[in-house]
Amino acid sequence: MRGLIAGDHSFGPLDRAAYARDASLYEIDPVGAIAPQTEEDVALLVKYAAENRIPIHARGAGTDPGGGSVGPGLVVDFSRHMRRIISIGSDHIVAEPGVVLDHLNAELLPLGRRLEIDPGDSDVTTLGGLIAVDAAGTRSLRHGSTGDHVERLRTVCSDGEVREFGFEPWPAYDDEPSDFTSLVVRKLHNIYRRNLQRLTPGSSDPPRNRAGYAIEKASSPAGIDLSRLMSGSEGTLALVVRATMRTQAIPPSQQVVLLQFARLVDAAAIIGRCLKPEYSPSACDLFDWRSLSLAREFDPRLQQAILDGTESIVVLEFEGNDPDEVAGRARSLAHRMARSASLIADPILWHKRTDRDRLMNLRRLIEPGLMRNRSGARPVSFIDDSSIPFDRIADTIPRLQAVMTRHEVNWTMDAWAGEGRLRLRPFLDLSDPCDIAKLEPLASEVCDVVLAAGGTISSSAACGLVRTQLLQRQYGDMIQMFREIKDAFDPLNLLNPGKVVGGDPRGMTENLIRLSPSRRANSSGEYSTSKGSSSVGTVTRNETDFTPDSNPTLGSAVADETAPQSTSIILPVLRFADRSLEQQASACNGCGACRTQEPTMRMCPTYRALRQESASPRAQANLIRQIATGAIDPKLWGTEEFKAHSELCFHCKLCQSECPAGIDVSSLMLEAKAAYVEHHGLAPGDWIFSRIELWARLASRLPILSNFLLSRGVSRQLLERILGLSRHRVLPKVRRTPFTRRAAKLGLHRPRPHLPGPRVAYFVDVYANYYDQELAESVVEVLRRAEVNVYVPSRQRSSGMASLIVGDVDHARELALHNLRILGNAVRDGYTILCSEPTAALMLQQEYIKLTDDLDATLVAQNTMDIGHYLTGLDARGLLPQPTEPLGIRVGYHQPCHLRALNVGTPGLDLLRKIPEIRVEFIDRGCSGMGGTYGLARNRFRTSIRAGRGLLNRLRDPDIEIGATECGACRIQMEQGITKNTLHPIKLLSLGYGLNPTIRRGLREPKPRNSMS
């Protein structure tokens, strides 16, 4: 196939593994995956598959919770290359299927238009996926679902031919079908005529039903819109390779009203009144108490607004062109509702945009709280797509509750209530056979309740692997009609078989993702596998079965229920404190949020640069889970091939804070790197990076010679060849004497607890110690200006991050133990450890405790701070003198990923803004792409530059004079190919105090251009 089809081919076991799952409960190893570049590639691929009878599974972002995109055949990944926007017209857009919805809407924004589809994962979901599942978001109440906005579709059919699909009139009686399309239309006409009565909409139908094929929406007495029929067909009728979509003007005015209730059923009962034509809300969402408690916890504004005792809220959005008219509708609804006895507080109108966005994005806000549950049970999506007439919600809730009670499970629910769409998610532990055994009965009984209420089991997500077998229950013999439609388009059953029709008769528990058996504490605190144990599920709301990491109160309720246990072939070299390695890896729910390209998010720099699924944190977490559970041949652990995958992670630690499930993918990948080192020893290039401190020390002995050699092209080429250090990298100049030695001469090397002032011990790390000594000097001087008692331990060594990220865990541990001996004593003497390098602070706070069980590791972790964070703390207490020297400079500030991972905000930025006459812009354009020493290597240089492109482009703009950031490696990257200087904020602060005049002199001096300029 490689000779036949351009694009990326994934056929090795580790490459295929990335495509074995999506956001569903299922996992199937495909025969291979191809990311085609053009529609011609897709056509060739389908022809090849047809000749060889290989099933085809189209794939976008893989965020469908129904398992639509997984299967044993050939996965066609449209998201990697086929994501071009072909044209933007005044009221429509033509684009390829892999384009991400938010990206499309960002292009439309300057025209004041958008695609009126707003699913919760709009930053990752693709146009092809949206069309294929006929997705519908919060505002679908007013704007309909994706299929309602499709104008025409260009497709590759099951015979490998490209065809345009739009409206086709029914054929005349004596028309002879002349081609594929006319033959299909004739067959569909027969089906239509035979089923006309069934296809007529009834008054008691659910407001949104997408189960089966949408023939009733696509057909009329005049003919059939094939593009409408394609919408919601889950890649089973044809592959979409280009779509023409209608766009809508963005209404300029919005209002949001919040209603609070003491009982969920009261909230549900009021929906009908909210939907009256005089109010016409564009969205009407309902949330249960569990969602609320998390929302309140994560957002102080909501904490203020939502009263204690509120069990449920309804959020209504109103949109329109005339602000007065929109406000009038919102106010009139609020007045009317204020008189209702079931509300426990007056309705609140939210006018400000930020407040409105907060409420409209409530689902995204609460998701991490639900997913970071450490007890193993998490909300599981398999009965989360039902829709019932909205006036039946109130009486259906008690019936659903009864089902959950019978099966002893906790559950959470939110609803797009205006359309009766209920997102029910029971809390289950899928590593527990008892919980797995509940899946089918729960699905079956919920299906009964929904159908009895006149509802549908599928309203906006694929039937996929999870719901297809239940369609028979919903449609009875009408299912035959769907089979005939499928047969008309795909007689060989090649396209996504088993979805929509022909579901797996073995039931929905076939092909579930493999998880290691869970371990739970019994009442005496001992750990046992849950096999055969009774369920922990309860139905009383006071029993906490979910535990957001960020919530100490809730966390303490179950903290003892989990313990790091390893049951797999992987014997971790790191200590996993709260979740074992397998638990970490298994916590990935496949949501695909880590594929985001959203500028306000950071994860994942390598995925952003490469856009290949295998680089996503999802693929990496799953790789570890699969190897741990034996889904992948364990012999691959520690191999060259596995190492190549693990090197896609450069330990930025962003997924840990940004992934809704809080998965520490970087630590999982460190295990893979360490396994390689254990099997093969350190690769020579990695050994060089691991010993970066040694090289710095040697270079500092002969600084003139070292700096001369590093500045010459010839020697850089030699270094590239021998050491693997990219010749394009311009490294900073090394200094003769390490700063720690110079500090000793000033008498700072001894702790002097008797001196006045708060005590700090400065952990300098390699960069400031050997290269940027002006930084180390500035740190000491600024601290002294604030009358802080500074101590610079002279025997301190590098933090060890450079060793850790290449998997040289032994050396990293050695450095950790060395530093802990010194720093532990300092803490016992009352010193706080300060780091000017965020990477060092991260090591001391988060990584040393994973490297060693030395008691001092915890002590040091608890007493280490980033310098900026420390100084802003002093400032808050009025102990930091205000800088008075004007700088008159325009600065672009970059927040390093490791600082972000410390979760301390942007203290450097806050300090910069205190300096007079300085204009600082926060360049929030993602990671710098450097990843410590990652971007220094020859083979990673280009990926590194690509990952930092957003930041570098902005820095090049003439309105920015210098850059600022805390991280030494980011500074190297920010000066790469740019003639502007980049400084640590503390250096600029020291200028604000009138200190360090030498720094001021060189501030605007252009740096020499280098080979990448």
Residues of the shown chain interacting with ligand SF4 in the complex, contacts defined by CB under 6 A: 588-594, 603-606, 617-618, 620-621, 649-655, 659-661, 663, 665-666
Residue with smaller CB distance to ligand SF4, 383 or 604: 604
797 touches which of ligand SF4, ligand FAD, none (CB within 5 to 8 A by kind)? none
Q: Is 317 in the site for ligand FAD (CB under 6 A)?
A: no
Residue with smaller CB distance to ligand SF4, 573 or 912: 573
The stretch among 233-241, 314-322, 513-521, 898-906 that binds ligand FAD (CB under 6 A) is 233-241
H-run or E-run covering 337: helix 323-338
Report the distance separating Cα 153 and Cα 362, nearest Å: 33
Q: Which of 55, 97, 147, 926 binds ligand FAD (CB under 6 A)?
A: 97
Q: Is 130 in the site for ligand FAD (CB under 6 A)?
A: yes
Binding to ligand FAD in span 450-479, by CB under 6 A:
460-462
763, β-bridge pairs: 835
Q: Is 69 in the site for ligand FAD (CB under 6 A)?
A: yes
Q: Which of 57, 152, 228, 374 binds ligand FAD (CB under 6 A)?
A: 57
671 touches which of ligand SF4, ligand FAD, none (CB within 5 to 8 A by kind)? none
Residue with smaller CB distance to ligand FAD, 30 or 65: 65
Residue with smaller CB distance to ligand FAD, 146 or 310: 146
Report the distance separating Cα 209 and Cα 475, nearest Å: 12
Q: Is 288 in the site for ligand FAD (CB under 6 A)?
A: no
Report the distance separating Cα 79 and Cα 240, nearest Å: 12
Residue with smaller CB distance to ligand SF4, 364 or 784: 364
Supply the angle between the helices 479-489 and 180-194 in degrees, to the nearest 10: 170
Phi and psi at residue 596, in whole multiples of 5°?
Answer: -65, 150
Residue with smaller CB distance to ligand FAD, 8 or 22: 22
Q: Which of 55, 60, 724, 758 binds ligand FAD (CB under 6 A)?
A: 60
Binding to ligand FAD in span 369-388, by CB under 6 A:
none
Cis preceding-peptide flag for 463 (omega within 30 of 0): no
Question: Which residues are CB-contacts of 101 (< 8 A; sequence separation ≥ 6)?
Answer: 115, 117, 119, 122, 123, 125, 126, 127, 130
Report the distance separating Cα 608 and Cα 631, nearest Å: 27
Report the distance separating Cα 392 and Cα 406, nearest Å: 22
Q: Is 20 in the site for ligand FAD (CB under 6 A)?
A: no
Q: Which amino acid would we find at residue 152?
A: R
The stretch among 129-137, 168-176, 920-928, 929-937 that binds ligand FAD (CB under 6 A) is 129-137
Q: Is 239 in the site for ligand FAD (CB under 6 A)?
A: yes
Cβ pair 663, 584 in contact under 8 A: yes
649 touches which of ligand SF4, ligand FAD, none (CB within 5 to 8 A by kind)? ligand SF4
Q: Which of 58, 400, 655, 923 binds ligand FAD (CB under 6 A)?
A: 58
Q: Is 503 in the site for ligand FAD (CB under 6 A)?
A: no
CB of residue 381 to ligand FAD, shortest distance in Å: 8
Residue with smaller CB distance to ligand FAD, 24 or 410: 24
CB of residue 410 to ligand SF4, shortest distance in Å: 20
Residue with smaller CB distance to ligand SF4, 465 or 665: 665
661 touches which of ligand SF4, ligand FAD, none (CB within 5 to 8 A by kind)? ligand SF4
DSSP state of 735: P
Give the closest residue to 868 by CA, choosing from 858, 860, 856, 876.
876
Q: Which of 50, 136, 394, 851 binds ligand FAD (CB under 6 A)?
A: 136
CB of residue 15 to ligand FAD, shortest distance in Å: 17
Buried b (16+ CB within 10 A) or exposed e, 146-178: bbbbbbbbbbbbbbbebbebeebebbeeeeeee
Q: Which amino acid would we find at residue 294?
A: L
Residue with smaller CB distance to ligand SF4, 585 or 909: 585
Q: Is 583 in the site for ligand FAD (CB under 6 A)?
A: no
Q: Which amino acid would we find at residue 487?
A: D
Spell out, one character per residue from 511 to 550, where the chain touches ligand FAD: x when CB under 6 A holds, - when not: ----------------------------------------
Supply angle C-alpha 877, 881, 885, rounded to 5: 145
Cβ pair 431, 514 in contact under 8 A: no
Report the distance separating Cα 154 and Cα 588, nearest Å: 35
Q: Which of 10, 20, 45, 126 binds ligand FAD (CB under 6 A)?
A: 126
Residue with smaller CB distance to ligand FAD, 240 or 901: 240
125 touches which of ligand FAD, ligand SF4, none (CB within 5 to 8 A by kind)? ligand FAD
126 touches which of ligand SF4, ligand FAD, none (CB within 5 to 8 A by kind)? ligand FAD
Residue with smaller CB distance to ligand SF4, 489 or 642: 642
Residue with smaller CB distance to ligand FAD, 63 or 209: 63
Q: Is 235 in the site for ligand FAD (CB under 6 A)?
A: yes
63 touches which of ligand SF4, ligand FAD, none (CB within 5 to 8 A by kind)? ligand FAD
655 touches which of ligand SF4, ligand FAD, none (CB within 5 to 8 A by kind)? ligand SF4
The stretch among 118-126, 199-207, 216-224, 611-619 that binds ligand FAD (CB under 6 A) is 118-126
Residue with smaller CB distance to ligand SF4, 355 or 924: 924
Report the distance separating Cα 320 and Cα 331, nearest Å: 14
At 936, is the secondary structure helix, strand, or coil?
helix
336's tokens: 């009317």
20 touches which of ligand FAD, ligand SF4, none (CB within 5 to 8 A by kind)? none
Residues 277, 149, 385, 354, CA torsion sign: negative
Q: Which residue has the tokens 């300092």?
A: 826
730's tokens: 């311009």
CB of residue 834 to ligand FAD, shortest distance in Å: 39
121 touches which of ligand SF4, ligand FAD, none (CB within 5 to 8 A by kind)? ligand FAD
Cβ pair 785, 753 in contact under 8 A: no
Cα dist from 236 to 155, 444, 486, whole Å: 12, 25, 7
Distance of CA 188 to the CA centre of its chain: 41
119 touches which of ligand SF4, ligand FAD, none (CB within 5 to 8 A by kind)? ligand FAD
Residue with smaller CB distance to ligand FAD, 58 or 801: 58
CB of residue 696 to ligand FAD, shortest distance in Å: 45
300's tokens: 């102080």
CB of residue 313 to ligand FAD, shortest distance in Å: 18
HEC per residue, 120-152: CCCCCCEHHHHHHHCCCCCCHHHHCCHHHHEEE
594 touches which of ligand FAD, ligand SF4, none (CB within 5 to 8 A by kind)? ligand SF4
900's tokens: 């972000």
Report the distance separating Cα 689 and Cα 803, nearest Å: 7
HSE-CB at 777 with a 13 A cutoff on CA atoms is 14
Report the distance separating Cα 5 and Cα 13, nearest Å: 20
Question: Which residues are CB-contacts of 303 (< 8 A; sequence separation ≥ 6)?
Answer: 296, 297
Cβ pair 268, 417 in contact under 8 A: yes
At 513, is the secondary structure helix, strand, or coil?
coil
Report the distance separating Cα 105 and Cα 99, nearest Å: 10
Beta strand ranges found along 454-612 (DSSP E): 519-521, 527-529
Cα dist from 959 to 885, 919, 956, 966, 1013, whole Å: 22, 10, 9, 21, 18
Binding to ligand FAD in span 168-227, by CB under 6 A:
none
* Residues binding ligand FAD (CB under 6 A): 22-23, 57-65, 68-69, 78, 97, 119-121, 125-126, 128-130, 132-133, 135-137, 234-235, 239-240, 460-462, 496, 499, 591-592
